[in-house]
Amino acid sequence: MGVLRSTASLEAEIEEMRETLLLSGGSGRADVAKAAGPGGVRRRVVGDGGDGDARTVCVTGGISFIGFAVVNRLLDRGYTVRLALQTQEDLDKLRETEMFGEMGRDGVWAVMANVMDLESLCQAFDGCAGVFHTSSVVDPGGLSGYTKHMAEKEVRAAELVVEACVRAQSVRRCVFTSSLAACVWRENTCPRSSRRATIVDENCWSDQSVCRDKKLWFALGKTMAEKAAWRAARGRDLKLVTVCPALVTGHGFRRRNSTSSIAYLKGAQHLFTEGLLATIDVEKVAEAHVAVYEAMDSTACGRYICYDHIIRSGQEAAELERQLGLPGRISGDGHADHPTWVELSNRKLSRLLSSRRRCVYDRYSILRG
User: What are the residue numbers of the active site?
Assistant: 222
Q: What DSSP state is assigned to residue 39?
A: G
Q: Are residues 88 and 283 in contact, defined by beta-carbon separation less than 8 angstroms?
A: no
Q: Are 85 and 112 in contact (CB under 8 A)?
A: yes
Rounded CA-CA distance 156/253 in Å is 27
Q: Is 343 helix (H, G, I), strand (E, B) or coil?
A: strand
Instruction: Provide the phi-psi class of 187: left if phi over 0, else alpha when psi is between -120 and 50, else beta.
Output: beta
Residue 360, CA distances (Å) to 145, 187, 289 in order: 40, 42, 17
Amino acid at position 360, single letter: V
- φ/ψ of 173, rounded to 5, equals -135, 145
What gap in Å lies between CA 201 and CA 271, rounded to an integer? 15
Residues with Cβ within 8 Å of 304's Cβ and at least 6 positions away in sequence, in order, are: 202, 241, 242, 243, 244, 288, 292, 346, 348, 349, 352
**Across the strands, what pairs with 243?**
177, 304
Rounded Cα distance between 59 and 124, Å, is: 9
Cβ burial of 244 (10 Å; 0-12, 13-18, 19+) is buried
β-bridge mates for residue 109, sequence order:
82
Q: What is the DSSP letter of 134?
A: -
Q: What is the DSSP letter of 25?
A: T
- Tell me the one-letter amino acid at 248: V
The one-character DSSP state at 107 is S
